[in-house]
Amino acid sequence: MNRVANGDTAAFSSLYDVTAPGVFGLLRNPAQSEEVLCSGCHLADLIQQACRRTDELR
């Protein structure tokens, strides 16, 4: 997660590869799964923001 938070695209790709099958298996609807996974592109932004906030609170 730290690597993703630091903008490491390879780390994000790995995270995506690990989570995507679970999303497809859970939703069982290709259209919904694609929507969720595309929204996952924003996941990296959220992780970065959360890490910055955590650093600010320390």
Residue 26: give the domain boundaries: 2-57
3-state secondary structure the chain: CHHHHCCCHHHHHHHHHHHHHHHHHHHCCHHHHHHHHHHCHHHHHHHHHHHHHHHHHC
- The answer to whether the predicted template modeling score (pTM) of the entire model surpasses 0.95 is no
Number of domains in the chain: 1
pLDDT tens, residue by residue, 6-56:
888 898 888 878 877 776 777 777 777 777 767 666 666 767 777 777 667
